[in-house]
């Protein structure tokens, strides 16, 4: 019979004991993070041995606050959002015990960065149309294809990869999910410049890339189900972030309004109040969504959170430029950087306005998310799909 999950008080006791044995200010930060993972105080809601203690998920925030107050080093989540928010839950749900032992610890500590090889030039919103092929070869697979809009591919050690393994069945079947070594021969990463002038994204070419079968997640042909788990977690990670009141973009613009009275106009005041209320409603909805996650895996409700995040970010960044008038038209950061994080709060208004345009594309386009909400949340009839039962190889390309 398994032990009962620890309570908040028991977790506090474990943290006290851990900090007594591990001084956050002494030694290498990586050693501290590894020890924290091994003590089950990384993801406390994960199972024992996987960085957790099987505790209720809502206790995680309190654990993180305790370590922050103690001055503990962080695992820099802003630099590994795909790994922490998408790859880790998928490995936990579908990985073997050996895969969990190999991947989860260096992922959480930030030793290994992850990226996501999903979208393709001909398969973005319709991910199930992807054509990157994985062909069985002995005890492994040989992969050929192209992926696009890959954040962090230029820094990543590992990638979560969806491929086509059986073109003779309908497109949602015959897909298989792998962990791909980004340092393997045949993996080529090329930068994609975006409207901000930066190359935050990449295109990735896979030419005869060999992947051992032990790096497969889930069963052969079951890649769509595994990918859906990833995508549901992605939308929660983007749209359901834990923020205080006036966190994120609305705090930036509200602060501008307070600090620069000479910019205030009556018409824009009404717009700011409306967006402030919508942002606060979205924040509280995110709190409820995270509470629901304690009972199981993310569902389609995360699509609504991500959809709202994109709409609000674009509206708020647009309002900021209206408030600033001519001053807001300047864009002074053409450094052509290869950033490792997206930062909406410490960059220029021009950057925020331009970068927000991508929010309605990344993590699932707003059009597709509306379909998901309509069908899976509201129970409305689905769109007619003429390709539903057609083998992938027979679809127009």
Q: Which residues are identified as catalytic?
A: 234
Helix (H) / strand (E) element for 30: namely helix 29-38
CA angle (86 as vertex; 55, 15 as ends), nearest 5: 30
**Which of 87, 139, 79 lies closest to 118, judged by CA?**
87
**Do strands 158-164 and 175-181 pair parallel, antiparallel, or not at all (unpaired)?**
antiparallel
By the 8 A CB rule, do 59 and 34 touch? Answer: no
| Residue from 352, 342, 357, 358 nearest 256 by CA | 352
- Can you spell out the DSSP letters for 297-317? S--THHHHHHHHHHHHHHHHH
CA torsion, ordered 321, 323, 326, 328, to nearest 10 deg:
-30
- How far is 10 from 21, CA to CA, in rounded Å? 17
What sign does the CA torsion over 155, 159, 165, 171 have? negative
| 135 three-state secondary structure | strand
Q: Are 80 and 110 in contact (CB under 8 A)?
A: yes
Count how many residues are written for the chain: 397
Contact status, residue 160 vs residue 87, Cβ threshold 8 Å: yes
Q: Which helix (H) or strand (E) holds 272?
A: helix 266-293
| Residue that is written with structure tokens 């995680």 in the block | 60
Q: What are phi and psi of 106, to 5 degrees?
A: -70, -20
**CA–CA–CA angle 120, 121, 126 (5° rounding):** 65
- 333, 348 in Cβ contact below 8 A? yes
Encode burial over 38-57: b for 16+ CB neighbours within 10 A, e otherwise: ebbbbbbbbeeebbbbbbeb
């Amino acid at each position: 019979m398994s032990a009962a999950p620890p309570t908040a008080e028991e977790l506090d006791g474990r943290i006290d004991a851990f900090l007594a044995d591990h001084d956050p200010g002494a030694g290498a930060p990586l050693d501290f993070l590894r020890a924290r993972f091994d003590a089950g105080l990384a993801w406390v809601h994960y199972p024992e041995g996987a960085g957790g203690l099987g505790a209720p998920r809502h206790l995680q925030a309190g654990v993180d606050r305790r370590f922050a107050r103690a001055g503990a080093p962080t695992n820099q989540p802003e630099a590994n959002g795909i790994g922490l928010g998408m790859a880790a839950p998928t490995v936990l749900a579908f990985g073997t015990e050996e895969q969990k032992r190999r991947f989860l610890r260096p992922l959480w500590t930030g030793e290994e960065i992850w990226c996501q090889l999903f979208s393709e030039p001909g398969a973005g919103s319709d991910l199930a149309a992807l054509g990157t092929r994985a062909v069985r070869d002995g005890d492994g697979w040989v992969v050929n294809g192209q992926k696009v809009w890959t954040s962090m591919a230029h820094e990543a050690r590992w990638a979560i990869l969806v491929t086509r393994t059986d073109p003779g069945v309908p497109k949602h079947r015959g897909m298989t999910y792998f962990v791909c070594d980004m340092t393997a021969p045949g993996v080529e990463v090329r930068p994609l410049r975006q409207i901000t002038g930066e190359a935050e994204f990449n295109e990735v070419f896979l030419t005869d890339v060999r992947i051992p079968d032990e790096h497969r997640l889930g069963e052969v042909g079951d890649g769509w189900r595994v990918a859906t788990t990833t995508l549901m977690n992605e939308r929660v990670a983007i749209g359901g972030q834990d923020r205080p009141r006036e966190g994120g973009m609305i705090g930036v613009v509200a602060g501008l309004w307070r600090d620069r009275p000479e910019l205030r106009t009556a018409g824009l005041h009404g717009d700011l109040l409306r967006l402030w209320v919508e942002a606060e409603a979205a924040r509280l909805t995110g709190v409820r969504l995270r509470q629901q996650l304690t009972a199981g895996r993310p569902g389609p409700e995360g699509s609504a959170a991500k959809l709202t995040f994109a709409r609000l970010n674009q509206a708020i960044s647009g309002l900021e430029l209206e408030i600033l008038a001519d001053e807001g038209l300047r864009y002074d950061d053409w450094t052509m950087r290869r950033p490792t994080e997206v930062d909406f709060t410490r960059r220029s208004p021009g950057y925020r306005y331009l970068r927000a345009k991508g929010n309605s594309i990344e993590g699932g386009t707003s059009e597709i998310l509306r379909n998901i909400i309509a069908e899976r949340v509201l129970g409305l009839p689905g769109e007619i799909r003429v390709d539903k039962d057609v083998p992938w190889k027979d679809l127009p390309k």
